[in-house]
A and B are shown apart, each in its own frame.
Chain A
Amino acid sequence: MTAAFDIILCLLILGTAGIALFVRDALAAIAFFIAFGNLLGLAWLGLDAVNVALAEIALGAGVTGVLLILARARLLALGDDATCADTSAWLRAGALAACAGFVLLLAAAVLSIPAESGLDRAVAPLMPGLGIENRVTGVLLAFRAYDTLLESFVLLGALVAVWSLAPAGVWPGRPADLGMADGPMRRVAGSFGRFLLPVALVMATYLVWAGSDVPGGAFQAGTVLAGGLMVSAIGGAIGLPRSDLPGLRVALVLGPLVFLLIGLAGTGFGGFLVYPQGLAKAAILAIEYSLALSIGATLALLVAGPNVIGPAGPAGGAGRNSGC
């Protein structure tokens, strides 16, 4: 029964991936990619990895989907419909042969490794010392905190890289307005955004808190926050802030900075990123809440893209610049 479910799900995943990659129309491709991401989330549920399922559906399908749709719309406005010219038959045949060989090698390698969860037994006895129960959060924020610290800086670095693509002379400015051009639809999205943003805030706060013991965590919470901010910006309920706004900069670096400072304070307790006995949960939650805020703001601005020339789109968008 379960095996049948797994196999059908895997076939669906492969099918949607194939359509997303090879359909001619770019919008259809992106739509299938979002469906693919959601099915992949189901696959992670099938693997009993709820933390990853949340991240995959929110980030892999949601944020990536919005990013690609926006990029396609901006390309379309420049006269590029993102369809591909046909490549030569020889290239296709060669690529097919090479990739088929690659898949066979990879499959042989995969089958040679037994699927087992050996490290779960290693992590389980260490969890009581942290005071939390979600083992994935334990790995992310305690046992492999170094990786997560670097990752938070990667996200910040990506935003700096995206901002650096702004045309000459527009810095410091605003990203392009995300608001819909169509009036009635914009009002609908605006009302929905005003309703969604507080809900997203509460949900993000809950996801971080719950992430200590049940699936959840800073990345999932940050994505929910970013989703609320994006929908509000699309409906014109909030405007996008100027990139040099001091409050915005604080929100962007707060997470990595708090993480780094708590990590440095750990040198007093035995080493970089070592949490003091009994205070581990407090330290992890402080890091996670500040990270969630920073991730939310960073993701929303990553989706908005670099600064553009001129005022930020139609008048409605720049009306209220409450920002993040």
Chain B
Amino acid sequence: MVTGHVYALTGAILAGLGLFAFIILRHPLRQLLAINVVGAGIFLILGGLGRGPDATDPLPQALVITGIVVAVALTAFGAAMIVRLAEARAATNAATRPDGGKPVP
């Protein structure tokens, strides 16, 4: 088994592990983390399969760099949405509770 396949197989397991976590974890922040693990796994598959005996294919490398940047953009938007949702929920809770108190712990 060559080096490239070792990393590509690790990527395949990471993708499955991330998918499993995405299904069973019920908090959106943890699901966001799981998506990042799936992405990292897919990047490793791309990079590993481009690993030749003497060089690594530059095309998947460029593709993975693009992918990492897009993943960060997605994570930033996802995190902002999760925080905003929590703020909206806290505001609703404070408004509907008779004492109008602080957000529920």
Write the residues of chain A forming the contact surface with B, with a CB cutoff of 8 angstroms. Answer: 2-3, 6-7, 10, 13-14, 17-18, 20-22, 26, 29-30, 33, 36-37, 40, 43-44, 46-49, 51-52, 55-56, 59-60, 63-64, 67-68, 70-72, 74-75, 78-80, 82-85, 87, 91-92, 95-96, 98-100, 102-103, 106-107, 110-111, 113, 115-120, 123, 135-136, 138-140, 144, 147-148, 151, 154-155, 157-158, 161-162, 165, 167, 217, 219, 295, 299, 302-303, 305-306
Contacts and interface: CB of A to CB of B under 8 A. Distances in A.
Q: What DSSP secondary structure best describes chain B's contact surface? A: helix
B100 interface: no
Contacts of A305: 76, 79-80, 83
Interface string B68-100: 111111111101111110110110000000000
B97 to A, nearest CB: 13
Contacts of B54: 117
Contacts of B90: 78-79
5 cross-chain pairs, A with B, having the tightest CB-CB distances, nearest first: A115-B4, A117-B52, A103-B16, A158-B73, A71-B79
Contacts, number: 274
A56 B3 contact: no
Contacts of A83: 27
Contacts of A63: 72
Contacts of A22: 21
B55 A48 contact: yes
A17 B76 CA distance: 20
A13 to B, nearest CB: 6
* Size band of the interface chain B makes with A: 35 or more
Nearest to A134: B58
B51 A48 contact: yes
A307 B86 CA distance: 16
A284 to B, nearest CB: 13
A59 B83 contact: no
Given A3-B3, A6-B7, A55 B55 contact: no
A120 B56 contact: yes
A287 to B, nearest CB: 15
A302 B79 CA distance: 10
Nearest to A13: B10
Contacts of A151: 66, 69-70
Contacts of A74: 83, 86
A152 to B, nearest CB: 9
B12 A75 contact: no
Nearest to B44: A43
Nearest to A298: B73
A158 B77 contact: yes
Contacts of B105: 79
28 contacts: A6-B3, A6-B7, A14-B17, A47-B56, A49-B47, A52-B43, A55-B64, A59-B71, A60-B71, A72-B29, A78-B90, A87-B24, A102-B15, A103-B15, A110-B11, A117-B51, A117-B55, A118-B52, A119-B50, A136-B61, A139-B59, A155-B73, A158-B73, A162-B80, A165-B84, A302-B73, A303-B76, A305-B76
